Amino acid sequence: MLKVGMVGVGCISGIYLHNIFNVFKDVELVAVCDLIRERAENAQKQYNIPKLYDTMEELFADPEIDIVLNLTRPYQHYAVSKAALLAGKHVYCEKPLGADLEEGIELVKLANEKGLYLGGAPDTFMGAGIQTCRKLIDDGLIGDVIGGRCVMASHGVESWHPDPDFYYQRGGGPLFDMGPYYITALINLLGGIKSVYGYAHTSYPTRLITADPHKGEIIEVNTPTHIESFLHFDSGITVSLLTSFDIFSTRQTNIEIYGTKGTLYVPDPNCFGGNLVLKNGEAGAATAIIFHNGETGKDETYPVTFDYAENSRCLGLDDIAVAIETGRPGRTTCKQTFHVLETMAGVLKSAESGLPYVMSSHFDREAPMDPCLPHGKL
């Protein structure tokens, strides 16, 4: 069992802490650290974590720690991951891998030079929803894939998030914040991306926070907040992806995959489970595939074949830990997270230049999840 040190004990840490101590059996959290010491103290007290460090450098110097879990803000990911790698630690980082392409290139090079694993979120594609969709596509239920359409649109996070400023800074925005969920799901469903084309715009130069504790404060927006992109896959198909914090309402959400035999409506890639619907073009009827609550669809029900329909963040960390110990390929390594980062950075570079961006990285899918393993063991 590998030992983990957590750097950053903010909002997302709660579900990681719960799942590390209650679900997954291949990792052990032994230390925490946060710039706001009270956050680390609260986590230590609630979960009886053995060690609390004042600085990340002290945590990195602990010889007991095998993997650093980097849960800091997006623009801090690079510095924390780099320091951990330089200290000889494997790293699992929340999305994105870096705030720009250059940061990702340097981190991957450093990890390779040191022979260390550099993995990261999102791991939602490993959940029941996307894994079931992958099987349906691979089994040919929608025929040959023609293309797809994805939409992630809202009017931002300042009306509900307790600390929304970083969403509108470098490394944030709807593409770098939510895009990793959609792009990671897409490449695990359809394979690698060859080139991208993008359009980017900022509709509102400032944002008014309406949620406590920063209610009434103004955010200066320093990143695009409305991005339309077109992803050209190695297979030859094109999928459009809209990510926006500027839209009040839309009726189209999530991911639609179009095939020669029908359309697959993929559940929210920000979640592990959810309902998915297959529109059978040959039969002319919608088939609801609801795999976690026993309900039957209109025409046909597919059997439950994959685990992790609940919020299973930490699944990717556990997978990396097992990959390190056994030598098998990991599903959430930097091969994937860098391909996703380059896709997003390429979209913004294309938006600046007005020309398509040709990808330098290549991605091949790893094996699907094994539905026969016990829950919490990979």
Report the DSSP pairing between strands 206-208 and 262-266: unpaired
**CA 375 remoteness from chain centre:** 21
pLDDT of residue 323: 96
Q: Say if residues 120 and 320 touch (Cβ distance below 8 Å).
A: no
Burial 50-71 (b: 16+ CB within 10 A, else e): ebbbeebeebbebeebbbbbbb
Q: At 263, give phi and psi (nearest 5°).
A: -120, 135
Using DSSP's 3-state secondary structure scheme, residue 235 falls into coil
Tell me whether the omega of the peptide bond preceding residue 269 falls within 30 degrees of 0, making it cis.
no
Phi-psi map region of 140: left, alpha, beta (phi>0 left; psi -120 to 50 alpha): left
CA distance 123 to 94: 10
Structure tokens at 200: 């980017």
pLDDT of residue 276: 82
CA distance 325 to 138: 29
- Residues in the chain predicted with pLDDT less than 50, given as ranges, are 285-304
Report the DSSP pairing between strands 262-266 and 254-259: antiparallel
Structure tokens at 293: 């609550």
CA distance 300 to 282: 14
- What is the total residue count of the chain? 378
Handedness of CA 140, 253, 192, 338 (dihedral sign): negative
CA distance 367 to 293: 26
Report the DSSP pairing between strands 51-53 and 27-33: parallel
pLDDT of residue 279: 78
pLDDT of residue 301: 39
Q: At 238, give phi and psi (nearest 5°).
A: -125, 135
Q: At 319, give phi and psi (nearest 5°).
A: -65, -40
Q: Say if residues 182 and 150 touch (Cβ distance below 8 Å).
A: yes
CA distance 298 to 240: 29
**CA 377 remoteness from chain centre:** 21
Count how many Cα atoms sit within 13 Å of the Cα of residue 285 in the half-sphere of its side chain.
8
Report the DSSP pairing between strands 118-120 and 90-93: parallel
Question: Nearest-CA neighbor of 326 among 377, 363, 288?
Answer: 377
Using DSSP's 3-state secondary structure scheme, residue 163 falls into coil
Tell me how far CA of residue 156 lies from CA of 36, 149, 244, in angstroms: 26, 21, 8
CA torsion, points 335, 330, 90, 338, in degrees to nearest 10? Answer: 20
Q: Say if residues 342 and 360 touch (Cβ distance below 8 Å).
A: yes
pTM, two decimal places: 0.94
